[in-house]
Amino acid sequence: MTMEPNNIENQFRNQLNEREIKPSENAWDRLDAMLTVAEKPKRSYGWLYIAASFLGFLLVATVFFSQTEEVIDVPRKEMVHENTPGEKENTVVPSAKEQQKTDADVVSQKGTAVAVEQKQSKHNTSSIKTVTKEALPVIASENNQNQIAAHSIINQATEQKVAQKPAYINVDELLASVDKPGKPGKIFNQKSGVKVNPNTLLSRVDGELELTFREKVLNTVNKNYNTVKVVLSNRNNQ
Amino acid sequence: MKVINLHQEEQEIIELAVANNRHAQQKIYTKFSPKMLSICRQYIKDIQQAEDVMITAFMKVFMNLKNFEHKGSFEGWIRRIMVNESISFIRAQKKVSFLEDEFYKEDGFNNIESDFSVDDIQFLIDGLPDGYRMIFNLYAIEGYKHKEIATMLGINEGTSKSQLSHARSILQQQINKLKNYDNGTE
């Protein structure tokens, strides 16, 4: 015996091959519907691509224009603050610091200032870096009391002024430290907490400088655009 | 002459169907669907499912009609699509596993002359497990070689042979039962 199909299998094959089973009535309708669905997308492909590219262009355009508007808005505010002296300077001071204006904070910050004072008297020749670092908390406490003075220090960012400052505050802070003594641990904690602020302040100043440059450019562009617009409208009117 | 005319007619209809002429497509469907449903039914027990598979296969026929080279018979081409669709349907539905055993007897049926009706034959084939039925159909009914079946199903040639051998022995038992039953009643 081999594996070749034998008589009975031949019979099977012949009979099965002759068999026909009529499909149900709606079978063609289903196939017809499937064919229609399959054909449709091919026809509308071209239009789809055009529509999609148009939508994409619109999206890019809106994103671009909304971005330029933002850039114009933000720096304008800060320009105003820089030009007007004194009164509006509290916006430059981080709002988080404003919220932390509790009595304890003021006291402890003053304490740090005293500590700085002592250090300076002991080590007059200590490096400028440490002086600025430790004096800046003083500036932070200054912001609470005298924000104009503090801000001038930040703007100029010179070590000499920073060094002069503690001498000016000296009396008040000494009094405060005498009034509430004996919290050395807290002083150090606050010191570390406040130390972060100078960096952020400085970075903000840097950011402002950059923004002002951008602002200048945008302003000139705007001015030129407006003059062109006016000229064009005049010409059109004539 | 008549054959040539028929051939030309078929070719024209195919060309129209390629161009998505629905009338031509319906002509092809009406001509071949009863035979094709019969083929799908060989593999799939449920007639409704067999019809679904046939419709999907006809979709593929019309989608790929432009690739049909007028070399072989058109019916044979459609038939192959039907068989492939049926197999992939069964394999997708149930994970048909083919035991990788290579034991098979080089042994066919006893050469019984019988007068089974086509329904009897279908009943016997339906009694086979999916994997056996698939290979029995491919080998004994469609006339594929073991090598071709092995590539189609992604199995070893030996596995195909052993599955056929198992299918045959099951069929033999069933046939004997039917015979005895018939003899008993007679």
Identity of the residue in B118, B140, B175 whose CB atom sits nearest the CB atom of A15 = B118
pTM: 0.51
Do B86 and B143 lie in one domain? The reply is no
Count up the domains in chain B and report the number: 2
- Say if CB A94 and CB A200 are below 8 A apart: yes
Instruction: Pull the structure tokens for residue B155.
Output: 């199995």
Structural domain contains residue B44: yes
Identify from A18, A26, A31 which residue to disrupt to test chain B contact, counting B C-beta atoms within 10 A and taking the largest count. Answer: A31
Q: Which residue has the tokens 């073991």?
A: B146
Identity of the residue in B51, B113, B146 whose CB atom sits nearest the CB atom of A23 = B51
> Where a domain ends, among B78, B93, B108?
B93
Interface confidence, given as ipTM, is 0.82
Q: How far apart, in whole angstroms, are the C-alpha atoms of residue B112 and residue B114?
A: 6
Instruction: Pull the structure tokens for residue B170.
Output: 């099951």
Do B81 and B128 lie in one domain? The reply is no
Q: How far apart, in whole angstroms, are the C-alpha atoms of residue B40 and residue A16?
A: 11
Please report, for chain A, the start and end positions of each structural domain, with discontinuous segments joined by +.
Answer: 97-205
Do B43 and B126 lie in one domain? The reply is no
Please judge whether A34 and B55 are an interchain contact, meaning their C-beta atoms are less than 8 angstroms apart: yes
Do B88 and B132 lie in one domain? The reply is no
Within a 10 A sphere around the Cβ of B171, how many other Cβ atoms? 23
Structural domain contains residue B104: no
Q: Strand, helix or coil at A81?
A: helix
- Say if CB B136 and CB B128 are below 8 A apart: yes
Q: Which residue of B has its CA nearest to A12?
A: B121
**Whole domain around residue B19: which residue ranges?**
2-93
B119 contact A CB<8A: no
Q: Which residue of A has its CA nearest to B57?
A: A31
Structural domain contains residue B109: no
Identity of the residue in A21, A23, A39 whose CB atom sits nearest the CB atom of B20 = A39
The contacts of residue A72 (CB under 8 Å, 6+ apart) are: A215, A218, A222
Structural domain contains residue B171: yes
C-alpha pair distances (Å), B186 with each of B112, B118, B176, B182:
18, 21, 15, 6
Structural domain contains residue B124: yes
Structural domain contains residue B110: no
Structural domain contains residue B99: no
Residues of chain A with confidence (pLDDT) below 50: 1, 84, 86-107, 110-111, 114, 121, 124-135, 139-142, 158-159, 161-163, 185-187, 190-191
Q: What is the CATH number of the domain that holds B50?
A: 1.10.1740.10
Per-residue pLDDT of chain B (186 residues; tens, 9 = 90+): 556 677 788 889 999 999 989 999 999 999 999 999 999 999 999 999 999 999 999 999 999 999 998 888 999 999 999 999 999 999 888 766 676 666 666 555 665 666 788 898 999 999 999 889 999 999 999 999 999 999 999 899 999 999 999 999 999 888 888 777 666 554
Do B73 and B146 lie in one domain? The reply is no
Do B7 and B77 lie in one domain? The reply is yes
Identify from A8, A10, A30 which residue to disrupt to test chain B contact, counting B C-beta atoms within 10 A and taking the largest count. Answer: A8
Residue A4: which of B19, B18, B140 has the closest Cα?
B140
DSSP alpha helix (H) spans, chain B: 2-18, 22-43, 47-63, 74-93, 118-126, 130-136, 146-153, 157-185
Identity of the residue in A15, A24, A32 whose CB atom sits nearest the CB atom of B121 = A15
